[in-house]
Structure formats: structure tokens, C-alpha cells
A = this chain, B = another copy of it.
Amino acid sequence: MIGLDQIKDIASSTPSKIVLLIIDGLGGLPHPQTGRTELESATTPNLDALAKDGICGLMDPVSPGITPGSAPGHLALFGYDPLRFMVGRGVLEALGIDFQFEERDVAARGNFCTVDGSGLVTDRRAGRISTQRCSQLCRMLDGLTIEGVTLFVLPVKEHRFVAVFRGEGLSSELSDSDPQQVGVEPKAVVPLSSGAAKAASIANEFVAKAKATLADQYPTNMVLLRGFSRYPQFPPMSEVYKLRAAAIAPYPMYRGLAKVVGMEVLPTGASIEEELATLAQNYDSYDYFFIHIKETDMAGEDGDFDRKARVIEEVDAALPRLIALDPDVIIVTGDHSTPALLKGHSWHPLPFLLRSRWCRPDGVEQFSERACSFGSMGRFPATDVMPLALANALKLKKFGA
């Protein structure tokens, strides 16, 4: 694939507009009774019309067979090779609660867990406590003092929390304390590079103090840490693509991912109508918009086939408002599949459509997994999307003499 440096050389700023609509978890699997996926079960006249006027294909976010997390799924669509540009688990969890990172921070994902009298882990999730209980426990740990760093301990959901260590000279090259099994002791955090000794000692001090603080809080009497990471320093879209890029995303994690690649995050209401109102209000100020729809993924994760189809219909019904703005390039796809039948992210490729004045319509007349497999894009990696978007917006100069 072409590298960001090579794209940077040929990208130029123009007034043309690109809108990327990501319907989270869009791809599905056929319902056993009907043989149709969630998307194929939904009535989507507006998406079908876009497909008919555009080019279509089946897209792999990371690589065929690979189930993407939210970060790789989105980064690929923003043109950042997800096999090279990594966002650590700790950072991703912190983005998910709108944590405001400083460059020097090191973040870890934490679990409240249960240990027995000998210190062996008996439940890695402490019985999946309530988020409210998690908040209480986090407040207890957030006040701990560790020499040389400012500590943040913040609740995420159920047993999950985020620990952020803010201080100078901290490396994130640290092993997990989470042993990923029961019946053993939590591991010591070990430095994975020569410069990481200080950070390891701080992490271990935190674990020791947390253990002491939680001693009488059975079953939440210990913590496990994993995914130590720092806020990534990726080349921003403004530099690489010469774009003024804006994100319209109601959920913190996606706002955070957008910030990681240098998008401006617009305040927005959470419904598709409110998101499209945000688009209309800000339409003149940017030339690239990422719009994120979360509810499809949530319905898929819940295994609710019909609700996922219904959400897709709601998105379709709202589209005329987007289409009326007449963006030079409209792209609709997802960041990964979430088939209701699997109740989770999956590796299945995603239906994809791109409509522009300068595309060569390929005869696909419906926006569905099956119809898109006959599109002229064929089966393709998501990292192709950004160059194609820029090309169709006439923002790329010729490559090579």
C-alpha cells in the first residue's frame, strides 16, 4: 500500500467536501429463517440509490479473517495502517471516558478482582460488580499518593477502570500484572526496556497500595493492570491529507480516536438527526467529516437482529438531509461487522459504497453484503478508502513523473 509520506506529497487542499458515515458494526450474517442479513432485511431506499450512483465493494478493516477492535477498525478508515499504528488498551479505555491526555501520561486498563487468603486470583472480574460500586472503589484509589507522579484512577464500566500515571520520564514498555487466569498470583509489572524501570516500580507501588487499601473490600480486594500505553503521536490528517477534518461522534471512544488523528471534535447530540444537524451547521468550516453511528453495533452485541435492522432503517431515513448538502464524496460503511448471530465483533468484510461525480458506477443496485460483493472495488483493504476519497474529491495530484 501507498505510505502516508507518499500521500502527503500529492495531497492538496481544495474546497471539495468528503463525508464518511461509519455505521458501527454494520456487517452481519444471514438470519437462519430468511437467509438475509440485518442490512438485507432493512428497507434502505436512500442507501440503495447511493450504491446505484456509486462504486461498491467488500472491505476488510485489518485483513481477511481478522476481527478488528474499534481502534484498528477506525484508524484503517482514516488511512492509518492498523497493523502499524497501534493504540494501547490503556489509552483506548481512557479515551472511552473522555480522559484528557498529556503527552507524558502512561495509562493502564484495570480490573477489580478477587484474591483469596494466599493472594491467588479467584475471580478476574470480582463477580462483575456494578459500575456504581466501581466508582466508589476508584475514589478510594484515586487519592493514593505515589512519589513523583500524579495518579488518576477512573471508573469505566462494571469491574473495569483506568489508571493513569502522570509524571516525567515514564515509559509504557511494561508487562501486564493481569495473569489472565485464576489460581495464580497477580504478576509483578516488569520493565520491558532499559528505560522502563522507574515506571515499573511506580506501577508496582500502585498495585501494592491498592491491595492494602482494598484489603477489607472483599470480593473487590485486588486490582489487575494491563495494556500500559502512552497517547500515540500519529501524523495528523491536516498534515498528511491537508484536510480540515471534523468528527461528529456522540461516544467518547470514537471522539478520542478522531482526536488521535488530529480531527476537530464537534459537540453534537446523540441521535442521527442531531448528528446530521451538526453536520449541516458546520458544513462550511471543514472539508472532511467523520460521522459515527453507534446503535447498530450495540444491537448486534445484544444479539438483537431486528433492532439492528431497525436502526439501519432509521439511518437510511435520515440520509436525505445529508444528501441534500451534496458533498463531493459520500462514503458509507462500517468499522467492522457485528452479526447479531455472533453477539460481538466479527471478521466478516463490510459492505462499502462511495458516491461522487467522478466515480464510475458499477451496476450494483442495492446496498447489501451480497450486492457489494459484485461491485467494482472487489474485496479490498480499508486503508484504500482514504486515497479513494481524496481522489474522488480531486484532492490528489499525480504520483510520479
Which residues of A, 363-401, contact B by the 8 Å Cβ criterion?
Answer: 363, 369-370, 373-380, 384, 386-392, 396-401
Copies in the complex: 2
User: A401 contacts which of B67, B87, B400 (Cβ < 8 Å)?
Assistant: B87
Cross-chain pairs A/B with CB under 8 angstroms, 6 sampled: A62-B399, A65-B386, A87-B400, A92-B401, A362-B370, A379-B379
Distance (Å) between the CB of A393 and the closest chain B CB?
10
Decide if A58 touches B378 in the complex (CB within 8 Å).
yes
A1 to B72, CA, bound (A): 14
Residues of chain B contacted by A3 (CB below 8 angstroms): 83
How many chain A residues sit at the interface, stated as a range, is: 35 or more
User: A391 contacts which of B57, B65, B93, B379 (Cβ < 8 Å)?
Assistant: B65
Interface residue ranges, A against B (CB under 8 Å):
1-3, 6, 10, 29-30, 37, 57-58, 62-72, 82-83, 86-89, 91-93, 227, 341-342, 345-349, 358, 360-363, 369-370, 373-380, 384, 386-392, 396-401
A386 to B63, CA, bound (A): 12
Distance (Å) between the CB of A322 and the closest chain B CB?
22
Decide if A349 touches B373 in the complex (CB within 8 Å).
no
Residues of chain B contacted by A227 (CB below 8 angstroms): 401
Decide if A69 touches B398 in the complex (CB within 8 Å).
yes
Decide if A63 touches B2 in the complex (CB within 8 Å).
yes
Residues of chain B contacted by A89 (CB below 8 angstroms): 401
A401-B71 contact in complex given A63-B387, A342-B358, C-beta closer than 8 Å: yes
A30-B401 contact in complex given A373-B376, A380-B64, A380-B379, C-beta closer than 8 Å: no
The residue among A2, A66, A92 with the most chain B CB atoms within 10 A of its own CB is A66
Residues of chain B contacted by A374 (CB below 8 angstroms): 374
Residues of chain B contacted by A401 (CB below 8 angstroms): 69-71, 87-89, 91-93, 227
